[in-house]
Structure 1
Amino acid sequence: MTGYPEGMLTDRNPLPEGLPARLRDQLAFVLEVDRLKTVLRQSPLAAADRRENDAEHSWHLALMVLVLAEHADEPIDVGHTVRLVVVHDLVEIYAGDTPLFGAGGGHGKHERERAAAERLFGLLPGDQARQLRGLWDEFEARETPEARFAKAVDGLQPMLLNWLAEGGTWRTPGVTGDVVRARKAVVGEGSAALWAAARALIDEGERRGWMPPG
């Protein structure tokens, strides 16, 4: 799903008027982000013959942070890093997913996502709107150890799915091993160990003919 839908999901069946205003806004936001389950990514699932959705991706990243935190290059607050990965793709509810290897798909991406962040996080009470928007901005800026590691697992996760799919999106026309290395170098900003593992996947993928070298 891409683009800006008219209205909110709760417009279909408004929440009871008697709810406290703050709780009502919070519940409306929680229901609105159910749309994340409909945003399809390009990555194939490892366990089923279909594409992954954004909600599944975010859950997978949160679990990866818990399991792989010891491989961060700098000490990180694990709970804060989990919050970053849970929030990072919410804007795609309105902005849509931008495929990494899509032709021209990145044009206007940042503008679309900033506008989506304003609209989506603005549904929350002011203090929480600022808090979640701050998490999204932190992830995008990659200026903290937590954000760099969050971005690292975000880069590694689809590579693992591509591995089990015997290439997956690496087989996109025009994609080479060097293209993948360049676009996934962000993994190395947060974890040398995970970047070494990622390069091993790419190298072996080239050897197996899933993408041409160079």
Structure 2
Amino acid sequence: MPSPTADHLESFLGNRRLSQQIAFILEVEKLKTVLRRTLLLDRSRVENDAEHTWQLALMAMVLSEHSREKVELVRVLKMLLIHDIVEIDAGDTFAYDTVLAASQAERELKAAERIFALLPEDQAKEVRSLWDEFEAKASAESRFANAMDRLQPLLHNFFTEGGTWSAGGITAKSVERRMQPIGMASDTLGDLSARLIALAVEQGILAPAPQEA
């Protein structure tokens, strides 16, 4: 069922700005239906995007002291709350799917233009700016937010004895490359990610990097 439009809501709310805000809130509820590959720690099912978003925000609140640079936590939290909203239209792109990755930026940009435009113009500009900042990784806040986005599935994969790493072709080298933003944002968390990858290889739950020819 499609979400109510701002025009429909305004017909009985009588307030254009509020109608746009409510329309956006109802639309992004769909994030609860976007499934990811990451297993819950009890391995009963995969998580959805809304659950992922909540956990990243909580991680940022708890772990921000480990950021290499001083960050404005509220700005980090805002980025994390909106960073995956585009997946309502674009879908979740598996981190190691090189085929889908080729069209990811185009699909997500189109989604950003549609979904954020549901908000009043000033809020739409703010949210779009935050999303662009997250994607660019050019500020301390965006780097730390991206580190949280990479660390969470790493933790889940390690503590579910392989999780999504069991997909064909995933090696330690691929995971190390994927986890680089963690070390860019935090020495402590970068060391943690490197240790978990090494332990995963030792325990046989992650394939070692192929030997160089």
TM-score, structure 2 length as denominator? Answer: 0.93
Question: How far is 1:129 from its partner?
Answer: 0.5
Q: Which amino acid aligns with 1:94?
A: D
Q: Which of 191, 202, 206 pairs up with 1:207?
A: 202
SS at match of 2:47: strand
Paired residue secondary structure (2:101): coil
Instruction: Output one character per residue of 1:4-62: Cα deviation in whole Å (capped at 9) or x when no partner.
Output: xxx84116xx4362310110110010000011000001000113510010000000000
Q: In the TM superposition, what is the alpha-carbon distance from 1:122 to its structure 2 partner?
A: 0.5
Q: Residues 101 and 169 of structure 1 are in contact (CA less than 8 Å); yes or no, is this contact kept in structure 2?
A: no
Residue 57 in structure 1 maps to residue 23 in structure 2: no
Q: CA RMSD in A?
A: 1.3
1:50-199 residue pairs with structure 2 within 5 A? Answer: 50-199=45-194
> Unaligned regions of 5+ residues in structure 2, if any?
none
Shift of 1:207: 0.6
Residue pairs, 1:22-33, within 5 angstroms: 22-33=17-28
Residue 3 of structure 2 is matched in structure 1 by: 9
CA contact (8 A) 2:43 2:160 kept: no
What stretches of structure 1 move > 3 A for 4+ residues in a row?
Answer: none
Q: Secondary structure at the match of 2:38?
A: strand
State the Cα deviation string for residues 124-144 of structure 1 (Å, max 9, x = none).
110000000001000000111
* Total equivalences in the alignment: 206
Q: Distance between the aligned counterparts of 1:101 and 1:82, measured in 2?
A: 26
Equivalents in 1 of 2:59, 2:134: separation in Å?
16
Aligned residues of 1:44 and 1:168 also touching (Cα < 8 A): yes
Quote the Cα distance in structure 2 between the aligned partners of 1:121 and 1:128. Answer: 8
Counterpart Cα distance in 2 of 1:16 and 1:133: 24
**1:171/1:48 CA distance change after superposition, 3 Å:** closer
Separation (CA, whole Å) in 1 of partners of 2:89 and 2:142 = 22
Q: Mind listing any 5+ residue stretches in structure 1 that lack a counterpart? A: 1-6
Report what 1:3 is aligned to. Answer: none
